[in-house]
Amino acid sequence: MNWPTVVYSEEIMREGFGIADPGIALADRVRLLEALSDTGLQRITVGAFVSPKFVPQMACFEELLRSFTPRPGVQYLTFMHNHKARLKAQQFSPPLAVEEEVVTLFQDICDVHQRRNINRSIEESMQTWPELIAQAQSRGVRRARAGIASAWGSNFLGKFSADYRLWSLQQQMDILGHAGLEVFEIGLHDSQSWCLPHEIEADLREIKRRWPQVQHFHLHMHDARGMALPCIYAALRTLEASDTVLIDGTLGGIGGGQFCGNGIASGMVPTEDLLHMLEGMGVDTGIDLDKIIDCVWMLEKMVGHAAFGHVSKAGPRPTKAAHFYDPNLPAIESLQAARHFKLGSAAYAGQTYSPWKQAITGPWFQGPNELKTNP
């Protein structure tokens, strides 16, 4: 199958640490960021210029930017929610990569979540659009993004219809089009974990029908109900080879929204699980999954609890003979013992229970890593 071009953005340093313990040491953050930079990731969002009064987890953000050693070929990005944040980012470039400025209209279509998150109603937010567009045009900006959050539903208001989603996007597309701006990207954010695979398929088909000129999409999928990965897969099946999709995710799936009612349980699509799926589908990511798993384990020590992903616990599918499990492993019952896929016998040291009386052998294989095709 001809998959769309996938651009992956690692968001743990902002999305994950943005809801984690503010006391995580700067030195630990630097260590994790530099380890991530050595995995083959090409795009890492490292934080945000926000008030520590409201987001104390970002209080050391500027010091982080001064402390780590950037790696060639890695884009280090920040969340630029307004022009003021953009100007601040330019002061730290490098190491920050400041991308082309575009007009970004972004609307949380759940009025409750919108008010809880930014103290502004949907109507109040929409009223700012003309001035935002005019200011950007005065700086020579000619391209734009449209996007909606809480796209499929709300923990406070229930399920949203496709008509409402498309109407909300249409408001943005109309005002941007009337201003003569080229809308090159549409973003769909599942802020409150309501998306289901068949819905994103239908939505993307309709979006591509209505606005065929848009070939760049942005998916930011929270995972409180375990649907982030299947929804992303559905999107990849629906988009075309000529499309590009930017996918946000976090190491270990750690992240979440303080104002959606689920907190850290919201999670996000886990980096390691998504990369494992993409590579299995034949999409070359250029990222070293083994090093990513090392980073997950490092992160777990920092936050003091297990991450939410799966591949860092059970390991990737052993597709090469050298990685097949030994048939005579003892019974594996704990998460620590399951790490034998990477740590070898040290992971299950002291665990010797097995129900079999002698070494498992037979006509189906010659040894633990050599299968016979004709027993």
The 10s digit of each residue's pLDDT in 196-207 is 999 999 999 999
Comparing 15-19, 56-60, 137-141, 360-364, the range with the smallest average pLDDT is: 360-364
User: Is the alpha carbon torsion for 287, 288, 290, 294 positive or negative?
Assistant: negative
pLDDT band at residue 375 under the 50/70/90 scheme: very low
- Percentage of the chain lying above the pLDDT 90 cut: 70
Helices (H) and strands (E) in the chain, counts: 14, 12
Structure-token match 């990513």, residue found: 292
pLDDT for the residue numbered 91: 85
pLDDT band at 228 (very low <50, low <70, confident <90, very high): very high
Asked if the model's pLDDT at residue 88 lies above 90, the reply is no
Q: What is the mean pLDDT of the chain?
A: 91
**Pairing assessment for the beta strands 143-149 and 244-249 based on DSSP bridges:** unpaired
Rounded mean pLDDT of 248-255?
A: 96
User: 5-314 adopts what CATH topology?
Assistant: TIM Barrel (3.20.20)
- For the packed helices 271-280 and 289-303, what is the interaxial angle rounded to 10 degrees? 160
Is the per-residue pLDDT at 352 higher than 90?
no
Q: What is the pLDDT of residue 366?
A: 58
Using CB atoms within 10 Å of the CB of residue 320, give its burial: 0 to 12 exposed, 13 to 18 middle, 19+ buried. Answer: exposed
pLDDT greater than 50 at residue 148 = yes
Residues of the chain with CATH 3.20.20.70: 5-314
Report strand pairing: 370-371 vs 75-79: unpaired
Query: Which of 15-19, 110-114, 119-123 is least confident?
Result: 15-19
